[in-house]
C-alpha cells in the first residue's frame, strides 16, 4: 500500500510539474546584438557613443563615458565577442528565461546590419548550447533606411522583403529551437514602419507555414507586440502604464506581452532627439515585478522582457553597476527558477567571464570545462572549477608588467547565520602592491544612496603605492539600518585581520573613505565605536577617515525607512554628528562647491567641523572644491586623500 501511494504521488507530482510548465507564459529577453568596442572591433560603435560620448574617456571610478545612464557589470562589451554571447545565454538560463527575442536588421551588409546579422547567428548558437529558444524581432525600418540611402530601389523593397523572409524560413523558422505558436514560427515586428499591411501580406505570402506576426499596438491590424508605454511629457506613473497594458491584454487580439525594468533614454543628452521619449522609474525593481505580474495574470502565451540590453533607452535587464543582479533575482523568484538555480549561481557566468579575460588566453582547457559546466547547468561543478581558475589568475599581476595584484571578491561575512543575500553581496576586491615594502590601505565604499551601486577601485588610487579594498555592502530596500553599517564594519574588520597576508600590508596604516553614501558609512563606523567593537576592533585604530561629500546628519535613506521626508533633517544615533568626539581618528572632510553640491551637503560638513572643534578634536579639516558638483568632486579630491594618507602614515 505504501509503495502504491508513493508511486501515485510521484506520478501526480510529475504530471503537475509538466502541466504548470506547459501552461505558463514563455518569457524571453528582447536582445540587442549591436554593440562594438575598440578592443574587439577596432572602434567604439554607435550604440556606445551615439556620435556624442567618448568611451576613451575613463572616469575616476573606472567607467568609460558612454551613451547610457547605467553601466553593464560586464563593461562596454562587443556583441561579436563569443565570451559575451555565452555569458549572456548562461545568465538567461540561470534567471529562468526561456530564451531571447533578438532584434534583427536583415541580411544585407548595410550600415551595421551585416555585423548584427553575424552576431545574431553567433548568439543563436550560444542560446542553443544553453538549451534555450530564440525568435527574431524584425525591424522593417531597415528597408526604409536602405531605400533612403539608395542602397535599395523603392520597387525592390517588397522583393527584398521576400528574400529576407525566405532566408529566415530556410535558416531559422525550421530550427527546433525557434519559438512557435502551434506550428507557426513567431515573428515579432518592431513596426511596421515601412511596409503597409498589404505589402507585409505579400512579403509573407509564399511562406509555409506562414509566420504568426505581432506588430506594435499603434500600428497593428492583427496580433500586437506590447512595449513599455512611455510619453514624451515626462515620467509615466504605474497607474498609467498598467491601465494601458491591461487594456491591450484584455482586448480581442492576441498580444505578445511585455515586462520591463524601467525606461530612461539618453537621446536628448546625446543630441539624437530634441526631447526624451519619457521615463518609467525602476522603483528598485518593483516596476519589473509588477509589469511581469500583470502579463502573467492575463495568461499570455508569450512575454518578453524589454529589454536585456538597450542601454540607450535605459531598459536594461542584465546586471548593471546600479542594481547588480536584482532584476535577474526577481525573475528567478517569479519564474520559479530559484528552485533549480540560486542567486549565487547568477554570479558564476560574469565571474568566469572576468577571470577568463584576466587569464588572457591561458588556461584554455580549464576554461573549456567551466563553460561546458555552466551550459549544462552544473553550477556546483562550475563553482569549483572557477575557484581553481581564480587561484591561478590571482598569482599574476593585474596587467603585464604591473607590480600590483588583485584578489577578487573574498567574502568578509560568512557562516550559517549569514543570509544568502549577505553571502552574495558582502564581498570586496583587494588591490595591493606586491613585494616587501610596507604600504597603506584605503578602504573604499561606493556611493548610490544606500539603494544602488557597486564596488570600484578608483583609478586615481591605482599604481600609487597604496592598497585599495573596494567594498560591496547590502542595500535598501532589501535591508534596513543598521545592516549596511554592520557590513561596513565587517569589511573594515576583514582588512585589519587580513592585510598582513598580502605583501607587506600594515594594519596600523588603514584609512577609510568613500563617496556620498560611502562617505557616510566611513564616518559612521569611524565615529560610532560600537560597530567595530563587535569585531574586537577599536575604531581609534583607524589611521584616518576621509569621507567624500558624505552626510553628517542622519542619511536620507535612513529617514525614508522611518517615513521622514528627505527635506526634513534630523540628527540622532544614525548621524555622524551625533558621535563627535575628541579622540576619533584624524578626519579630512571633502565636499564639492556649496552652490553646485547636493543641497546642504557642504553646510552640514561645515557644521560637523565646527562641532568636532568644539569637542576638542584637533585633526579635522574641511576642503571645499570650488566649481565641482557632487558627482564631479571625487576626481580632484583623490590627490588630497593621497596627501592625507602620506602625512598620517608616517
Q: Look at the chain and report how many structural domains it folds into.
A: 3
Note whether residue 26 is domain-resident: no
DSSP state of 534: T
Does 259 share its domain with 142? Answer: yes
**Residue 3 in this model has a pLDDT that exceeds 70:** no
pLDDT of residue 63: 97
**Does 560 lie in the same domain as 507?**
yes
- On the 0-12 / 13-18 / 19+ scale of CB atoms within 10 A, 437 is exposed
Asked whether residue 13 is assigned to any structural domain, the reply reads: no
Given a cut of 50, whether residue 244 has pLDDT beyond it is yes
CATH code assigned at 504? 3.40.50.1820
534 inside domain: yes
CA distance 495 to 442: 10
pLDDT digits (tens, 9 = 90+) for 323-356: 999 999 999 999 988 789 999 999 999 999 999 9
Tell whether 298 and 419 lie within a shared domain. Answer: no
What band does 23 get if pLDDT is binned at 50, 70 and 90?
Answer: low
Q: Where does a domain end: 396, 414, 429?
A: 396
Supply the pLDDT for residue 215. 93
Q: Residue 14 pLDDT > 90, yes or no?
A: no
Buried b (16+ CB within 10 A) or exposed e, 335-347: bebbeebbbebbb
Say if 148 falls within a structural domain.
yes
Of all residues in the chain, the percent with pLDDT exceeding 70 is: 96
| Predicted confidence band of residue 221 (pLDDT cuts 50, 70, 90) | confident
E-strand ranges in 90-179 read 99-104, 133-138
Q: What is the pLDDT of residues 343-390, one digit of tens each?
A: 999 999 999 999 999 998 889 999 999 999 999 999 999 999 999 999
C-alpha cell, 320: 548593471
Contacts 24+ apart (CB under 8 A), 397-403: 397/434, 398/431, 402/463, 403/433, 403/434, 403/435
Per-residue model confidence as pLDDT tens digits over 51-63: 999 999 999 999 9
- The whole-angstrom separation of Cα 155 and Cα 225 is 28
Grid cell locating 437 = 615594502
What span, in angstroms and rounded, lies between the C-alpha atoms of 539 and 532?
Answer: 6
Instruction: Give the mean pLDDT of 13-24.
Output: 46
Residue 133 maps to a domain: yes
Distance, CA of 513 to CA of 128 (rounded, Å): 46
Report yes or no: 35 and 22 within 8 Å, Cβ to Cβ: no
25's grid cell: 507564459
Q: What pLDDT is recorded for position 20?
A: 41
Q: Are residues 145 and 265 in the same domain?
A: yes
Q: What is the pLDDT of residues 116-151, one digit of tens each?
A: 999 999 999 999 999 999 999 999 999 999 999 999
| Residue 308 is assigned to a structural domain of this protein | yes
Q: Residue 524's closest CA among 560, 481, 566?
A: 481
Task: Identify whether the C-beta of residue 540 lies closer than 8 Å to the C-beta of residue 583.
Answer: yes
**Residue 4: per-residue pLDDT:** 42
What are 400-435's pLDDT values in tens digits? 889 999 999 999 998 888 999 999 999 999 999 999
Looking at the chain, the whole-number percentage of residues with pLDDT higher than 90 is: 90
Q: 284 CB contacts (<8 Å, ≥6 apart)?
A: 323, 326, 451, 452, 476, 477
**Residues 557, 536: one domain?**
yes
Check whether residue 35 and residue 103 sit in a common domain: yes
pLDDT given for residue 491 in this prediction: 98
Domain shared by 137 and 285, yes or no: yes
306 and 413 share a domain?
A: no
Largest CA distance in the chain: 87
As given in the structure block, the three cell numbers for residue 45 are: 560603435
Residue 15 is assigned to a structural domain of this protein: no
Q: What mean pLDDT value characterizes the chain?
A: 94
User: CA-to-CA distance for 639 and 110, rounded, in angstroms?
Assistant: 48
Q: In the prediction, which pLDDT does 431 show?
A: 98
Q: Kindly state the DSSP code that residue 64 receives in the 8-state scheme.
A: B
Query: Is the domain of 328 the same as that of 373?
Result: no
Residues 6+ apart with CB under 8 A from 186: 135, 178, 179, 180, 211, 212, 214, 256, 302
Sign of dihedral through CA atoms 99, 103, 107, 110?
negative
Q: Among 132, 120, 118, which Cα is nearest to 90's?
A: 132
**Which pLDDT score, from 0 to 100, does residue 400 have?**
86
- pLDDT band (50, 70, 90) for residue 220: low
3-class secondary structure, 467: strand
Q: Rounding to the nearest 10 degrees, give the CA dihedral for residues 57, 63, 64, 68.
A: -140
Question: Is the same domain home to 288 and 416?
Answer: no
What is the rounded CA–CA span in Å between residue 185 and residue 207? 11
Q: Per residue in 622-649, pLDDT tens?
A: 999 999 999 999 999 999 999 999 999 9
Residue 257 near residue 304, CB atoms below 8 Å: yes
Q: Are residues 330 and 346 in the same domain?
A: no
Give me the half-sphere count of Cα atoms (radius 13 Å) on the Cβ side of residue 71: 19
Residue 582 near residue 563, CB atoms below 8 Å? no
| pTM of the complete model | 0.94
Give domain status of residue 365, yes or no: yes
- Write down the pLDDT at residue 13: 41
Q: Are residues 125 and 242 in the same domain?
A: yes
CA–CA separation, 225 and 216 (whole Å): 5
Cα separation, 249 vs 274, whole angstroms: 32
Write out pLDDT tens, residues 432-470: 999 999 999 999 999 999 999 999 999 999 999 999 999
pLDDT for residue 6 is more than 50: no
Q: How confident is the model at residue 252 (pLDDT cuts 50, 70, 90)?
A: confident
Q: Range of 183's domain?
A: 31-337
Q: Is 319 helix (H, G, I), strand (E, B) or coil?
A: coil
Burial of 206 (0-12, 13-18, 19+ CB in 10 A): exposed
Candidates 33, 61, 497; CA nearest to 309 is 33
CATH code, domain with 267: 3.20.20.80
pLDDT at 478 over 90: yes
Amino acid at each position: 500500500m505504501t509503495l502504491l501511494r508513493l508511486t501515485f504521488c510521484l506520478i501526480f507530482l510529475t504530471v503537475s510539474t509538466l502541466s504548470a510548465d506547459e501552461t505558463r507564459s514563455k518569457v524571453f529577453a528582447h536582445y540587442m546584438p549591436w554593440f562594438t568596442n575598440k578592443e574587439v572591433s577596432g572602434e567604439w560603435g554607435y550604440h556606445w557613443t551615439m556620435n556624442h560620448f567618448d568611451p576613451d574617456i575613463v572616469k575616476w571610478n573606472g567607467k568609460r563615458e558612454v551613451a547610457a545612464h547605467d553601466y553593464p557589470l560586464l563593461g562596454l562589451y562587443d556583441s561579436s565577442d563569443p565570451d559575451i554571447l555565452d555569458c549572456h545565454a548562461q545568465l538567461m538560463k540561470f534567471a529562468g528565461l526561456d530564451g531571447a527575442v533578438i532584434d534583427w536588421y536583415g541580411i544585407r551588409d548595410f550600415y551595421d546590419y551585416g555585423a548584427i546579422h553575424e552576431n545574431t547567428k553567433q548568439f543563436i548558437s550560444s542560446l542553443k548550447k544553453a538549451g534555450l529558444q530564440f525568435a527574431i524581432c524584425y525591424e522593417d525600418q531597415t528597408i526604409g533606411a536602405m531605400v533612403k540611402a539608395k542602397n535599395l530601389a523603392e520597387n525592390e523593397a517588397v522583393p527584398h522583403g521576400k528574400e529576407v523572409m525566405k532566408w529566415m524560413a530556410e535558416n531559422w523558422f525550421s530550427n527546433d529551437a525557434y519559438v512557435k505558436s502551434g506550428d507557426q514560427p513567431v515573428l515579432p515586428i518592431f513596426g511596421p514602419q515601412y511596409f503597409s499591411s498589404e505589402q507585409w501580406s505579400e512579403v509573407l505570402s509564399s511562406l509555409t507555414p506562414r509566420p504568426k506576426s505581432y506588430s506594435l499596438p499603434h500600428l497593428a491590424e492583427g496580433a500586437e507586440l506590447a512595449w513599455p508605454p512611455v510619453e514624451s511629457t515626462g515620467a509615466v506613473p504605474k497607474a498609467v502604464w498598467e491601465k494601458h497594458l491591461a487594456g491591450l491584454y484584455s482586448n480581442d487580439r492576441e498580444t505578445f506581452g511585455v515586462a520591463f525594468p524601467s525606461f530612461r533614454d539618453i537621446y536628448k543628452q546625446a543630441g539624437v532627439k530634441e526631447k526624451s521619449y519619457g521615463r518609467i522609474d525602476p522603483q528598485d525593481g518593483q516596476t519589473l515585478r509588477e509589469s511581469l505580474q500583470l502579463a502573467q495574470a492575463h495568461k499570455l502565451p508569450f512575454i518578453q522582457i524589454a529589454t536585456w540590453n538597450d542601454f540607450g533607452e535605459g531598459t536594461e535587464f542584465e546586471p548593471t553597476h546600479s542594481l547588480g543582479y536584482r532584476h535577474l533575482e526577481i525573475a528567478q523568484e517569479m519564474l520559479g527558477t530559484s528552485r533549480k538555480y540560486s542567486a549565487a549561481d547568477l554570479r558564476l557566468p560574469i565571474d568566469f567571464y572576468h577571470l577568463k579575460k584576466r587569464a588572457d588566453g591561458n588556461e584554455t582547457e580549464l576554461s573549456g570545462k567551466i563553460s561546458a559546466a555552466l551550459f549544462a547547468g552544473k553550477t556546483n561543478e562550475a563553482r569549483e572549477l572557477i575557484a581553481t581558475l581564480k587561484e591561478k589568475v590571482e598569482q599574476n599581476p593585474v596587467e603585464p608588467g604591473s607590480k600590483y595584484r588583485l584578489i577578487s571578491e573574498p567574502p568578509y561575512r560568512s557562516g550559517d547565520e549569514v543570509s544568502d543575500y549577505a553571502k552574495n553581496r558582502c564581498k570586496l576586491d583587494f588591490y595591493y602592491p606586491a613585494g616587501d615594502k610596507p604600504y597603506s590601505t584605503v578602504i573604499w565604499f561606493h556611493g548610490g544612496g544606500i539603494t544602488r551601486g557597486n564596488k570600484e577601485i578608483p583609478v586615481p588610487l591605482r599604481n600609487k603605492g597604496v592598497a585599495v579594498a573596494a567594498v560591496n555592502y547590502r542595500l535598501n530596500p532589501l535591508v534596513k539600518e543598521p545592516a549596511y553599517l554592520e557590513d561596513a564594519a565587517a569589511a573594515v574588520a576583514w582588512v585589519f585581520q587580513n592585510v598582513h597576508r598580502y605583501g607587506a600590508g600594515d594594519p596600523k596604516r588603514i584609512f577609510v573613505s568613500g563617496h556620498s553614501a560611502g562617505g557616510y558609512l566611513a564616518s559612521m563606523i569611524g565615529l560610532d565605536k560600537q560597530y567595530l567593537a563587535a569585531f574586537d576592533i577599536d575604531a581609534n585604530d583607524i589611521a584616518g577617515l576621509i569621507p567624500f561629500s558624505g552626510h553628517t546628519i542622519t542619511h536620507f535613506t535612513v529617514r525614508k525607512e522611518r517615513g521622514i521626508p528627505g527635506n526634513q533633517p534630523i540628527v540622532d544615533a544614525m548621524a555622524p554628528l551625533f558621535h563627535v568626539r575628541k579622540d576619533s581618528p584624524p578626519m579630512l572632510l571633502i565636499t564639492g562647491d556649496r552652490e553646485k553640491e547636493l543641497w546642504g551637503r557642504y553646510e552640514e560638513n561645515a557644521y560637523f567641523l565646527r562641532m568636532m572643534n568644539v569637542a576638542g578634536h584637533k585633526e579635522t579639516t574641511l576642503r571645499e572644491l570650488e566649481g565641482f558638483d557632487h558627482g564631479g568632486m571625487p576626481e580632484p579630491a583623490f590627490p588630497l586623500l593621497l596627501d592625507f594618507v602620506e602625512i598620517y602614515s608616517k
